[in-house]
Amino acid sequence: MQQFDFPVYLAPMEGVTDRGFRRICKEYGADVLISEFISSDALSREVAKSFLKMAFAEDERPFGVQIFGSTEEALTVAARLAAEQQPDFIDINWGCPVKKIVSKGAGSAILQDIPKMVRLTSAVVKAVNLPVTVKTRLGWDSSDKPIVEVAERLQDVGIQAITIHGRTRAQQYGGEADWSLIGEVKNNPRMTIPVIGNGDIDSAEKAVAYKERYGVDAVMVGRAAIGNPWIFRQIKALRNGESCPEPTYEERVDLVMRHLRENERTKGERSAVLEMRTQYSGYFRGVFNFKPRKIRLMSALSIAECEEILRG
């Protein structure tokens, strides 16, 4: 079988990719990690919670801090503050479709004003001595998908990699990600920086097939990794031509306990237990008759209680 060698990124996901989860994904084979998005306005006002979101452990490297914003001042101040934490790169979020962010001109809103996107990106590149990367979408809506030109222009102002989610802002998360335009960016002879493909990678087979079909330098996995860090181990095995068995029930429980304890250290027990509630479906997907346990987990308030329910 053909050998594949390509990095796999864990997608930044607000409310999901906290330190505990990132470290587990790294251990299971994710090569590159990125923080949850951080508001440049909040960061430039030195809001404590934003600083916490930037924190990372040495074993998370290569690690990027992702910022979002809509003004040159806030973005450059935030980028400098992020750079002081010495991550490996700063990523600018030009893709978030959420109304609250878009209405302030940040995230994917910038896709309606490409000259501004280029100007602000250039300012961030100049503000820091670290590599700057961009994560964005194909365009604003189906009648406006300028990503090939956008990627060139961002490369010209000095970004060092681009991640493309194969949807428009109008699509939000609906429909199917269109990787053909991601492939077009990669195959543009003017492009020299790495192109990372993102959108709907939900199995090791798809990761390897899309890497091969579209020629991207790396793939990024988001939703399919929620409660399922094994996907990275499976991709790693497949790209070496090996297969990887599904985790046993005991392995799943061990990993949930590990995740709870990691988050207990960084956020306290209560937040760790409450936040885990959204992850059980992923961790126990396909496990026969898990529902009664899940119902009890939804009202558990301590780690010991969760363990008792899971192992009992």
Ligand X SMILES: Cc1cc2nc3c(=O)[nH]c(=O)nc-3n(C[C@H](O)[C@H](O)[C@H](O)COP(=O)(O)O)c2cc1C
Beta carbons within 8 Å of 11's beta carbon, 6+ residues apart: 17, 34, 198, 220, 221, 222, 223, 225
Site string (234-263) toward ligand X, x via CB under 6 A: ------------------------------
- Is 96 catalytic? The answer is yes
Report the nearest approach of ligand X to the CB of residue 105 (Å). 16
**Of 31 and 307, which has the nearer Cβ to ligand X?**
31
Number of residues that bind ligand X (CB under 6 A): 22
Residues 11, 92, 134, 159: which binds ligand X (CB under 6 A)?
A: 11
Which residue's CB atom is positioned nearest to ligand X? Answer: 222
Stretch that binds ligand X, among 42-50, 123-131, 149-157, 221-229 (CB under 6 A): 221-229
Question: Residue 74's Cα: distance from chain center in Å?
Answer: 22
- Which one from 25, 96, 244, 306 is the annotated catalytic residue? 96
Asked if residue 14 binds ligand X (CB under 6 A), the reply is yes
With beta carbons less than 8 A apart as the criterion, state whether 91 and 56 touch: no
**Of 217 and 305, which has the nearer Cβ to ligand X?**
217
Report the nearest approach of ligand X to the CB of residue 218 (Å). 13
- State which amino acid sits at residue 205: E
Burial class (CB in 10 A: 0-12, 13-18, 19+), 58: exposed
Asked if residue 275 binds ligand X (CB under 6 A), the reply is no
Stretch that binds ligand X, among 77-85, 150-158, 185-193, 196-204 (CB under 6 A): 196-204
Asked if residue 39 binds ligand X (CB under 6 A), the reply is no
**Angstrom distance (rounded) from CA 191 to CA 155:** 8
Joined together, the tokens standing for residue 58 give 């040495």
Beta carbons within 8 Å of 105's beta carbon, 6+ residues apart: 70
Asked if residue 30 binds ligand X (CB under 6 A), the reply is no
Asked if residue 135 binds ligand X (CB under 6 A), the reply is yes
Site string (85-114) toward ligand X, x via CB under 6 A: --------x-xx------------------
With beta carbons less than 8 A apart as the criterion, state whether 232 and 207 touch: no
Residue 240 has a CB neighbour count (10 Å cut-off) of: 12
The 3-state DSSP class for residue 20 equals helix
Residue 48 has a CB neighbour count (10 Å cut-off) of: 8
> What does the binding site for ligand X look like in residue numbers (CB under 6 A)?
11-16, 36-37, 66, 93, 95-96, 135, 165, 198-201, 221-224
